[in-house]
Structure 1
Amino acid sequence: MLVGYMRVSKADGSQTTDLQRDALLAAGVEPGALYEDKASGKTEGRPHLAACLKALRPGDTLVVWKLDRLGRDLRHLVNIVHDLTERGMGLKVLTGQGAAIDTTTASGKLVFGIFAALAEFERELISERTIAGLAAARARGRKGGRPYKMTPAKLRLAMASMGQPDANVGDLCIELGITRQTLYRHVSPTGELREAGRRLMDQSRRQQGS
């Protein structure tokens, strides 16, 4: 059985699926086996695509007008086709740059294999760039990851406030824009510096002296 999927980027009526619908029907997809979304290709939630993929059964073929109607990007597309293949289903693209893809044929599987290899190559490049970026940052004295929200100025306010008997920890955290965990990592309940707080203050003094 052939199952068709269509998508346009705008839901304001300025775009229609008429061209896609005509092409899918001409390819042999029955009107009752057509699914349509009106959403950006980058949108995570495409309910009719999810319903379409769920409706497919072993031996069925998903038919799309162009590749960009289906996947958000190359990796997303590869993941969809891998899932279809594992479930015993095929993908056929009618036009555009992916028109040679028909995973129900040997030549179509070969073409998609090239797409999958490109997606893997892209992942490796991104990983290499990330590792190189972290190494360069460490060489300059910076560490990767999310920076602390605590600053020397906030730390001084926290020390002064926590030393007060009527200090409200919840209000203080809201005012400073930090969590309780961050606060107590740097300052004791009596306002004394803890190890993380001492390191932050020492770092601040070194930067001021340089």
Structure 2
Amino acid sequence: MVYGYCRVSTKHQNLKRQIDALIAYGIKEENIYVDEITGVVLKRRGLESLKNVLTTGDTLVVKEIDRLGRNRKQTTELIKEFIEKDIDIIALDIPYLKEFILKEIKREKGFMEIMATTLLSLILEVAEQERHKILDRTKEGKEKALEAGVKFGRKRKLTRQKFVRTYNQMIKDERSPKEIQEKLKICKQTYYNYKKRYIR
């Protein structure tokens, strides 16, 4: 079985780019595991669920190899864990990872195995440095935007008072649920969630 894994490390990133790449590769969406919230340890809900379903002979696909772990050490430990369980790893950004590096690491100790391990370590180090650069640039860009008066954060949620007031008025005017949703600019599910919670 072929599975995919995606992870974002900050709230300003989204998973769409990674998921689209995995689907384009041929992985079914239900076989793609994701983690949107990151922590100081490697235990993540999506990753742990994925590890529970992966078995010998399966293949794990990631768009970028550094998506597996928060840093080089964690990523290396995960790769070794998967190798020991005979799970293939494909990184779409490093097409030679499986055929050369991981293949050589699986072999008996020798010069090529050492070279492959060293190359993997170098790749992960470069990826980690690139991630730090991106985070630094994002931080600098946000600081400049704040100085320029740009506001960040989610839009304020619909309040209970506004929902109840609008709902009661529009029901009184014999408006349909769809019209109420359009008026409040909310989806059907949100409308029924609010109705169930606040309308008696």
Q: What TM-score does the superposition give when structure 1 sets the normalisation length?
A: 0.47
Which has the larger Rg?
1
